[in-house]
Structure 1
Amino acid sequence: TTPATTTKQSSQPCPLLLNLKINHRTDCQQTLFFSHRLPICPAMGILHSMSQTIEPVPFSRYRNIVDDWNAFQDSIKRPLPVTLWTNSLKITPEQLQHSLQQANLTPAPISWYPGAFRLPPNVKPGHQWQFMAGLYQVQEEVAMLPVCLLDPQPGERVLDLCAAPGNKTAQIAVAMRNTGTVVANDRNPGRMQATRQTLNRLGLVNVTTTTYDAANFPREAGQFDRVLADVPCSCEGTCRKGSGPITSATEAEIRTLTGTQLAILRKAVQLCRPGGRIVYATCTFAPEENELVVDTVLAEFGEAIQVVPVADVGLRMAAGVTEWNGRSLHPSLAHTRRIWPHQNDTGGFYVAVLAKTKETHQTVPPTYTPLPPHTTEEPTPWLNIVCARFGIPPQKFAPFRIIRRSRRGVYLLNRDHLPPARPNPDACGMFFMRTDGRFPKLTTAAALFCGHWATQNFIPLTPEQIYPFLTRQDIRLTPAQTTHCTGQGYVIARFANHPLGIGIYLPPANGQPALLRSLFPKAWANMITKQG
């Protein structure tokens, strides 16, 4: 090599130096990895058989509490399975499984959760007509566990303090069979709007939504039979959802969360009635956000609360830790549970079940009223309009109230609902009918809820017409499809007797066939892609 060539080569960075990455975070161990590339370092004139890269092993601080470290590391590199649960208010698990099989989706039942299924990894479950009809809800498998342990019962009063995006609220409301009172709260208005869309699609009328800081949720809301505190966390257990590098939360990040988590769990204990149940849950691995939070609250409330052993539901789980970083924790925390990703091929989760044995503070029992603040009951004329147009027997609506909260329209709410006096609700029940236009119009949510009761002015769609309807296209109708139509106006589109939404029926005219003009919501239509 000539000196000039040597000088030129020496000016290039050495690949070894380019590939050397040292992470100084104290919560991860540094481990040496080898790549199989064969880079040349021109300055040294040497062919290197391998380059060395120092990178942190994700979640190394938990190595001593993971039962199978290698299996854990392998699992977090794989994508999560696609899972969903049946909306049993609309369809049975057997019927849903058959419907999905007809769509070539090959659902596999989840053994520990009746009515839940896994789908193939390439399926987009939010794009299926069954999803749009509210027949199922998509939810990560292990995230179904907290509500299973909360065990809400029909007619109870249940609070979900950190509800968005609404999956667990929906689980609760379905388990309560659209009865009682579910209060779904979150401090993020945008996420609560998405939550209400989920509740409407699933046909849930027993939910009041509020937007409030969970840690300061007012005592005037009253007491609840069960409280879910699925608190904000560092989300380490959701690492399989992303496509980027897997990283652990720093200790500083964790410290900023634990104060909020403690405040929310304290509030959950305060709002739960004596004899009631609290479930504390996170989707993170950090003991600081899990056992240490529960340990602190156990010490603060003493005999007023106690840990209830987590029931064996059929999932592989690990016992909660009772010692961390030299700190000894309450021995009953061994009855809480950790779910590591490799144990069931899921995300990671932590759950603690608490029983409130006696009152924790002086309180004046609130006086509940069946109607939310600033609300009036207004069944007339709206219920008559719906029943007359669609041939629905009025007694079908006997368990519900039609209420007005704004000029825009009226809502449908179950009669045994006991909403909070404070905070002021964003919405109570289901937005049922727009009344501010020239012609009152059922909402899509209302059509999904009561459309199967219709005996007239409904149109049965063919399989080929589902996609055009869900993407707001006009559909030509055969005479056989219009036999239940009494004239131009609003109709309910159905497939296999499952309502899909509202449209306008236009009778044949000037030699043109009858048309169905889809009024499927634009926001929902944008979620649809044509299935092969």
Structure 2
Amino acid sequence: MEGFVYGFQRVPEHCHRWRFFGKNLFRSVMDEISNLPLPEAFLNFLEENGIDPSIYTASDSTPRYVRLKPGCEAELEEIEAEMKCKLRKVDWLPGFYSLPPDIQIANSKAYQDGKIYGIDAASGAAVSALKISPGDHVLDLCAAPGAKVCMMLDLLGDSGSVTGVDVARHRLAACRTILQKYSLGDRCRLFVADGTTFSLAPVRVDSVSRSCESAFEDKDDKFREWTSRRPWKERKRAAKAREAKSSQLVAVLVDAECTHDGSVRHIQKFEHWGWRTLQRRVLDAERTDSLTVLQLKLLRNGFRLLKVGGLLVYSTCSLTVAQNEDIVEHFLKENASAELQEIDEAEGWPCKCGRIPKTLRFDPLTSQTSGLFVAKVTKLAT
């Protein structure tokens, strides 16, 4: 496809539509930011995918975001005093606050006490698009490192459940740690599993009875589940209850693995890792081809597990067409029961429309967030 770049002429709609200009403007933008330490191969990658390279100058002004744990609102002033900075409420996303980009939250007492957790506002928007309500049963097919799972459980309140899946054992262990930190583990089960083949089959009682540690040691079983330390009879009752719920998934999030080119902070890490690593992880054609195959498989399986009438959100932190609109279009063509949905929650969100109707794109320049693509699909009766 001919390269393009987002220009700056808006069409008045609730999400911003942008006109496309040609390569001459793209080259002039690149000339203006020629002081950026980006290799020519990466600049060519941006041009081929219509990504404005000036987003990589925005990291110093893009804020960090945190979500305040429900019930801690009265402690906001105390948290601000301890962190020595103002937490600015994100008007378009309930529960979210922005911080200056240089603030580190990990050493703060509020973070250590489980009152705040870091999650980019664009990722929070993807979770919000699922319209989670108390009592829902939700699947996060790429759950690690766990902030989105925490947000889902916050939205569920005291009822419903979340099932988190990730193929990486060490990443899911980090997810388990954050759930324990925020005391959210009792309504969430985690599986070390391939999201492209994961199935919500009934869980064996012997699996449920395992402890946190042993559940991650045995590598022979297809899926490895973590459960909290509760009495055996209580875990057995919970397992039977989950069997009945296995066909009741009303929301599925597929925040798929991608090249992460929409994350400015991620790209900046390659200055330390080396640009050859960027070539291998982001620019290599074999790598990107394997990613698009993986993304489509994840989307297919997530939709297979979704109940009729349920909602699925597909997202990536890539800004490329191949990993976003192309995947969605391919999926819709092969699934007659899948229908793309308008994201009604996006009224007032600082984002652009994607290249196909009803999809959205966040980026550092427009949104003051990390880059993210979001599409919402519902399953129709057949």
TM-score, normalising length from structure 2? 0.71
1:55 aligns with 2:40: yes
Q: 1:121: Cα distance to partner?
A: 2.9
1:102 aligns with 2:56: no
Q: 1:132: Cα distance to partner?
A: 1.5
CA contact (8 A) 1:32 1:55 kept: no
Give the alignment of 1:32-51 within 5 angstroms. Answer: none
**Structure 2 counterpart SS, 1:78:** coil
Answer with 166-175 or 79-88: which moved more. 79-88
Cα distance in 2 between the residues matched to 1:278 and 1:306: 10
**Structure 1 counterpart SS, 2:250:** strand
1:308 aligns with 2:341: yes
Cα–Cα, structure 1 residues 34 and 227, in superposed 2: closer, same or farther, change >3 Å? Answer: closer
Cα distance in 1 between the residues matched to 2:106 and 2:121: 16
The answer for the alignment partner of 1:131 in structure 2 is 111
1:234 aligns with 2:259: yes
**Structure 1 counterpart SS, 2:308:** strand
Larger RCO: 1 or 2 (CA < 8 Å, sep 6+):
2
CA contact (8 A) 1:111 1:314 kept: no
Q: 1:229: Cα distance to partner?
A: 0.5
Cα–Cα, structure 1 residues 64 and 215, in superposed 2: closer, same or farther, change >3 Å? Answer: closer
Q: 1:96: Cα distance to partner?
A: 3.7
What is the alpha-carbon root mean square deviation over aligned residues? 2.8
Cα–Cα, structure 1 residues 73 and 208, in superposed 2: closer, same or farther, change >3 Å? Answer: closer
Cα distance in 1 between the residues matched to 2:342 and 2:147: 24
Q: Percent identity?
A: 23
CA contact (8 A) 2:62 2:364 kept: no
Cα distance in 2 between the residues matched to 1:339 and 1:121: 18
1:198 aligns with 2:178: yes
1:355 aligns with 2:374: no
The answer for the alignment partner of 2:67 in structure 1 is 85
The structure with the greater share of residues assigned to strand is 1
**Structure 1 counterpart SS, 2:330:** helix
**Structure 2 counterpart SS, 1:127:** coil
Cα distance in 2 between the residues matched to 1:120 and 1:32: 29
Cα–Cα, structure 1 residues 64 and 159, in superposed 2: closer, same or farther, change >3 Å? Answer: closer
Cα distance in 1 between the residues matched to 2:306 and 2:33: 54
Rg larger in 1 or in 2? 1
Cα distance in 2 between the residues matched to 1:107 and 1:33: 33
Partner AA of 2:64 in structure 1: V
Cα–Cα, structure 1 residues 175 and 59, in superposed 2: closer, same or farther, change >3 Å? Answer: farther
Cα distance in 1 between the residues matched to 2:286 and 2:61: 28
Q: 1:29: Cα distance to partner?
A: 8.0
Match of 1:207 among 178, 188, 195: 188
CA contact (8 A) 2:49 2:321 kept: no
CA-to-partner distance for each residue in 1:101-148, whole Å, 9 max, x for gaps?
Answer: 222221111121122111233322111111122111111222211101
CA contact (8 A) 2:137 2:161 kept: yes
CA-to-partner distance for each residue in 1:228-282, whole Å, 9 max, x for gaps?
Answer: 1111111111133434448653433211101111111001111100000000010
Give the unaligned 5+ runs of structure 2. Answer: 1-25, 202-245
Answer with 218-227 or 159-168: which moved more. 218-227
CA-to-partner distance for each residue in 1:125-184, whole Å, 9 max, x for gaps?
Answer: 111111122111111222211101012111111100110000111110110003111101
Cα distance in 2 between the residues matched to 1:288 and 1:216: 23
Partner AA of 2:340 in structure 1: V
CA contact (8 A) 2:46 2:53 kept: no
The answer for the alignment partner of 2:354 in structure 1 is 320
Cα–Cα, structure 1 residues 243 and 234, in superposed 2: closer, same or farther, change >3 Å? Answer: closer
Q: 1:97: Cα distance to partner?
A: 2.3
Q: 1:187: Cα distance to partner?
A: 1.3
CA-to-partner distance for each residue in 1:422-450, whole Å, 9 max, x for gaps?
Answer: xxxxxxxxxxxxxxxxxxxxxxxxxxxxx
Cα distance in 1 between the residues matched to 2:317 and 2:116: 23
CA contact (8 A) 1:232 1:282 kept: yes
The answer for the alignment partner of 1:407 in structure 2 is none
Cα distance in 2 between the residues matched to 1:318 and 1:111: 18
Cα distance in 2 between the residues matched to 1:261 and 1:64: 18
Cα distance in 1 between the residues matched to 2:367 and 2:33: 30
Cα–Cα, structure 1 residues 119 and 215, in superposed 2: closer, same or farther, change >3 Å? Answer: same
CA contact (8 A) 1:160 1:169 kept: yes
Cα distance in 1 between the residues matched to 2:106 and 2:39: 40
CA-to-partner distance for each residue in 1:399-431, whole Å, 9 max, x for gaps?
Answer: xxxxxxxxxxxxxxxxxxxxxxxxxxxxxxxxx
Cα distance in 1 between the residues matched to 2:64 and 2:287: 29
